[in-house]
Amino acid sequence: MKYLTEFRNGEIAQRMAGEIRQLATRPWKIMEVCGGQTHSIIRNGIDQMLPAGIEMIHGPGCPVCVTPLELIDKALAIAAQPGVIFCSFGDMLRVPGTDGDLFQVKGRGGDVRVVYSPLDAVDLAARNPDKQVVFFGVGFETTAPANAMSVHVARRRGLKNFSLLVSHVLVPPAIEAIMSSPGNHVQAFLAAGHVCSVMGYWEYPPLAEKYGIPIVVTGFEPLDLLDGIRRAVAQLEAGRNEVENAYERVVTFEGNRAAQKLLAEVFEVTDSAWRGIGVIPKSGWRLNAAYRNFDAEERFQISGIHTEESLLCHSGDVLRGAIKPAQCPAFGKECTPRHPLGATMVSSEGACAAYFNYGRFLSAEELAGAGAALSGAAHG
Amino acid sequence: MAEKPNPGASAPDFSNWSCPLPLAGYPTIVMGHGGGGKLGNELVEHLFLPAFRNPALENLGDAAVFDIGSGRLAMSTDSFVVQPLFFPGGSIGELAVNGTVNDLAVSGAVPRFLSASFILEEGFPLAQLAAIAYTMAQAAATAGVHIITGDTKVVERGHGDGCYINTAGVGVLRPEVSVGPHLAQPGDAVLVSGTIGDHGMAIMSVREGLEFESQIRSDCAALNGMIAAVLDAVGTQVHAMRDPTRGGLASTLNEIAAASGVGIEIDETSLPVRPEVQSACELLGLDPVYVANEGKAVFFVAPEAAALVLEILRAHPLGRDAARIGQVTAQHPRMLVARTGMGANRVIPTQIGEQLPRIC
């Protein structure tokens, strides 16, 4: 299959892992920013293939995980209103708010629907003129163009009953925040290929320069990731700090100009809260003045939101790369994908869910004989 | 050539269908069809009876009376609420027959008789109901079973989803066979009868709001013939069988691992997956091991019988893509572990709820 099996070739993967072993003379800590890459690394066991000193630190790039609790609570409140059709990508439905999730709202009679594209929600608005259709537009730069397109199209079609509950966050400010946080130990970054397919990678050379770190743009298949890691290790060993593109089949330096133009037309940069991390300056997008009347937060004046995070959950430390999921005291005990305490346990891109689902709270030796415990946990 | 998805594509053409005796002039279901009066009787006599006709049904008594011979019986029931009602490769009617037939067959029984109960929503077109009855009759004939009793209820508009069907089935256990989810043994070979994920992705491709262009068809089929071929040859060496429906292959294997107290190892690269199903799953962020099947069986067989079972499966039209995908082990009891294409191991847990399409 084109573009799929070629990048999952086990033999080539072993060869690349061998090259990384030869290159690495010292321990290095490399962060993959994107949750999709975390998922792929854990699913395919890429981290098990690396030499002991090369540690992958899982970054904050899971949109489901970093969406602020307050916004989830607003989503729950809006979705529960009569006359509202609330549309979302699938994996937002199980993200716990302070009081329940969107599935529970649906169960109580809210009209909550999974769509694959925000444009489907626009069509839904056109077909249901007597309803308010809201799309939950979260994500990084990757999903932003489609969300921007939805309000652009809604305005062009004169739809007064469509709005966007939007929380977009941006990768470069997050890299900046991680690198300037005290106690940071990340020495190189894998930049997320899909973000760069939209934005290009012209934003990264100043970061590589400022913090003296290699940044390698790479994809999501096993060979993409291994190639990215290999290039990062080669740079680290040689003392270089360059921006490299290991995802040339998808990413160009400039990125998708048409998408960037649309983004500039619809969004403006804003300070943004990241769940588990806090506010990062200029790290998000919101609808600009011209499109403000499509902002669901403006349309539905939701007040009286009192958010409450679980005291047991350490997802913030996980998102910053300060701890591994299994080091959280609640991991696999109070917190499982069935009863997630924090968003990192919900989305398959969340580091905690990836660790749990692929049995990563057990060492290979522990796998044998521990089945009962796992099965018990998985079945709650 | 990409075909535009059309939920009705696989249904027989009932656009010119007319009832042999007009059902009191109603083209759609009305409350009266469930009222136990003349309308309900007409529905049975002019729609269901002609489709399902057999001696046990024909009496239209309060219960069907039948002779099933001696031996142990197996009984199973299942309800069907699929949307859309007609989808590429099948319909709710075929699912309702094949689902219960398969549940009996994987239990080691020869399926014989089914009941069929319909819960219909007021306003449901009679032509569609006739189409459903017709596909059920065809599926029953293919599977060699009779639909011998049934019921119809009507709910008010807005209280149902067009048509729900419940079927129950009775079969006679094959005396030489002893299979069950708790009987898998370390050393057993694990075989699957064909490509996984076809049904779930076929449904997803036509579900409202998620339509995408594809040629994926549901694998909906009655498996009793194929299973009989296996059991005829090596009946005593088959330890467990399951049809991996909702929750997919992963859930079925986890259930058997738990019930038998054994570990199961599979080789991810050996899983038969159609390229178009794989592509659609990649696109939507789903894993085919969790996607539903409606015409596949998983076999746990003694290792010495594995090659023969594989040969028998592949000789059957429904088992052409059968594959040996792994084995049972005494290691990691109650756990399903896959060897990835990269040579690493990963645990495949039971799915918590529905698989959720990812954001990006």
Strands A132-139 and A84-88: parallel
Strand partners, B20: none
Assign residue A348 a region (left: φ > 0; alpha: ψ between -120 and 50; beta: otherwise): alpha
Can you tell me the mean pLDDT for B272-281?
Answer: 93
Q: How far apart are CA B211 and CA B209, in angstroms?
A: 6
Which residues of chain A lie closer than 8 angstroms to B335, CB-CB? Answer: 359, 367, 370-371, 374-375
- Print the domain residue range for A205: 2-63+174-245
Mark which residues 219-278 of B lie under 8 Å from A by CB: 254, 257-258, 263, 269, 275, 278
Structure tokens at A86: 């609330």
Which residues of chain B lie closer than 8 angstroms to A20, CB-CB? Answer: none
Taking the alpha carbons at both ends of chain B, their separation in whole angstroms is 27
Contact status of B352 with chain A (Cβ, < 8 Å): yes
- CATH number, domain B189-347: 3.90.650.10
Determine the pLDDT at residue A374: 37
Which residues of chain B lie closer than 8 angstroms to A135, CB-CB? Answer: none
Per-residue pLDDT tens, chain A, 380 aa: give them.
Answer: 466 778 989 999 999 999 999 999 999 999 999 989 998 998 888 988 999 999 999 888 888 888 888 999 999 999 999 999 999 988 888 888 888 899 999 999 999 999 888 999 999 999 999 999 999 999 999 999 999 999 999 999 999 999 999 989 999 999 999 999 888 899 999 999 999 999 999 999 999 999 999 999 999 999 999 999 999 999 999 999 999 999 999 999 999 999 999 999 999 999 999 888 889 999 999 999 999 999 999 999 888 888 777 888 898 888 888 888 988 999 988 998 888 888 788 777 788 988 887 766 554 444 443 333 333 333 32
Number of domains chain A is built from = 1
Determine the pLDDT at residue B5: 39
Interior CA angle at B277 toward B274 and B279, to 5°? Answer: 110
Q: How far apart are CA B91 and CA B218, in angstroms?
A: 9
Determine the pLDDT at residue B360: 53
Determine the pLDDT at residue B2: 38
Q: Which residue of B has its CA nearest to A347?
A: B358
* Span B111-170, pLDDT tens digits: 999 999 999 999 999 999 999 999 999 999 999 999 999 999 999 999 999 999 999 999
CB atoms within 10 A of CB A365: 8
Residue A143 to residue B360, Cβ atoms within 8 A: yes
Minimum distance, in Å, between the CA of residue A304 and any CA atom of chain B: 29
Minimum distance, in Å, between the CA of residue B210 and any CA atom of chain A: 6
Q: Indicate if the alpha-carbon torsion angle B148, B153, B159, B162 is positive or negative.
A: positive
Determine the pLDDT at residue B39: 85
Closest partner CB to A63 (pick from B258, B340, B359): B359
* Span A281-319, pLDDT tens digits: 999 999 999 999 999 999 998 888 887 778 888 988 888
Which residues of chain B lie closer than 8 angstroms to A113, CB-CB? Answer: 209
Task: Report residue B209's pLDDT band, with 50, 70 and 90 as the boundaries.
Answer: low
Give a yes or no: residue A299 inside a domain: no
CA distances A349 to A62, A220, A352, B233, B359, Å, are: 6, 12, 9, 46, 9
* Span B55-77, pLDDT tens digits: 889 888 889 999 888 889 999 99
Omega prior to B84 cis, within 30 of 0: yes
Q: How far apart are CA B192 and CA B26, in angstroms?
A: 47
* Span A122-170, pLDDT tens digits: 999 999 999 999 999 999 999 999 999 999 999 999 999 999 999 899 9
Can you tell me the mean pLDDT for B92-99?
Answer: 97
Q: How far apart are CA A187 and CA A191, in angstroms?
A: 13
Size of interface A-B (CB pairs under 8 A): 138
Determine the pLDDT at residue A4: 73
The position carrying tokens 């030499």 is A51
Residue A374 to residue B352, Cβ atoms within 8 A: no
Give a yes or no: residue A113 inside a domain: no
b/e B85-100 (16+ beta carbons within 10 angstroms → b): bbbbbbbbbbbbbbbb
Strands A28-34 and B336-339: unpaired
Minimum distance, in Å, between the CA of residue B349 and any CA atom of chain A: 6
Q: How far apart are CA B86 and CA B82, in angstroms?
A: 9
Task: Report residue B6's pLDDT band, with 50, 70 and 90 as the boundaries.
Answer: very low
Q: Which residue of B has its CA nearest to A373?
A: B334
Residue B342 to residue A113, Cβ atoms within 8 A: no
Determine the pLDDT at residue B68: 87
The position carrying tokens 């070739």 is A9
- A226: domain CATH number? 3.40.50.11750
The ranges assigned to domains in chain B are 26-53, 68-173, 189-347
Determine the pLDDT at residue B87: 92
- Sequence-separated (6 or more) residues with CB below 8 Å from residue B170: B68, B73, B74, B75, B104, B111, B112, B113, B114
Q: Which residue of A has its CA nearest to B343?
A: A10
* Span B320-349, pLDDT tens digits: 999 999 999 999 899 999 988 888 888 888
Which residues of chain B lie closer than 8 angstroms to A357, CB-CB? Answer: 347, 349
Judged by DSSP in three states, B295 sits in coil
Q: Please report, rounded to a whole number, the percentage of residues in chain B having pLDDT higher than 90.
A: 70
- CATH number, domain B68-173: 3.30.1330.10
Task: Report residue B3's pLDDT band, with 50, 70 and 90 as the boundaries.
Answer: very low
Give a yes or no: residue A50 inside a domain: yes
Nearest alpha-carbon partner for A354 in A344, A339, A364, A363 = A344
Q: What is residue B355's DSSP assignment?
A: P
Strands A243-245 and B90-91: unpaired
Helices (H) and strands (E) in chain B, counts: 10, 13
Determine the pLDDT at residue A143: 93
Three-class HEC string of chain A: CCCCHHHHCHHHHHHHHHHHHHHCCCCEEEEEEEHHHHHHHHHHCHHHHCCCCEEEEEEEECHHHHCCHHHHHHHHHHHCCCCEEEEECHHHCCCCECCECHHHHHHCCCEEEECCCHHHHHHHHHHCCCCEEEEEEEECCCCHHHHHHHHHHHHHCCCCCEEEEEEEECHHHHHHHHHCCCCCCCCEEEEEHHHHHHHCCCCHHHHHHHHCCCEEEECCCHHHHHHHHHHHHHHHHHCCCCEEECCCCCCCCCCCHHHHHHHHHHEEEEEEEECCCEEEEEEEEEECHHHHHHEHHHHCCCCCCCCCCCCCCCHHHHHCCCCCHHHCCCECCCECCCCCCCHHHCCCCCHHHHHHHCCCCCCHHHHCCCHHHHHHHHCC
CA distances B137 to B11, B18, B100, B223, Å, are: 13, 18, 14, 16
Contact status of B317 with chain A (Cβ, < 8 Å): no
Determine the pLDDT at residue B116: 97
Q: What is residue B159's DSSP assignment?
A: S
Closest partner CB to A337 (pick from B279, B334, B352): B352
Backbone angles phi, psi at A133, to 5 degrees: -105, 125
Give a yes or no: residue A362 inside a domain: no
* Single-letter amino acid, residue A166: V
Determine the pLDDT at residue A129: 97
Which of the two residues, B204 and A287, has the higher pLDDT score? A287
What is chain A's length? 380
Which residues of chain A lie closer than 8 angstroms to B331, CB-CB? Answer: 367-368
pTM of the model: 0.84
Q: Which residue of B has its CA nearest to A89?
A: B359
What is chain B's length? 360
Determine the pLDDT at residue A375: 36
Judged by DSSP in three states, B132 sits in helix
Determine the pLDDT at residue B8: 39
Structure tokens at A116: 């694959």
Give a yes or no: residue A85 inside a domain: no
Residue B279 to residue A1, Cβ atoms within 8 A: yes
Backbone angles phi, psi at A166, to 5 degrees: -115, 135
Determine the pLDDT at residue A291: 96
Q: How far apart are CA B37 and CA B121, in angstroms?
A: 17
CA distances B95 to A167, B103, B168, B182, B293, Å, are: 42, 12, 13, 26, 11
Minimum distance, in Å, between the CA of residue B268 and any CA atom of chain A: 10
Determine the pLDDT at residue A380: 28
- Sequence-separated (6 or more) residues with CB below 8 Å from residue A28: A53, A54, A55, A187, A188, A232, A233, A236
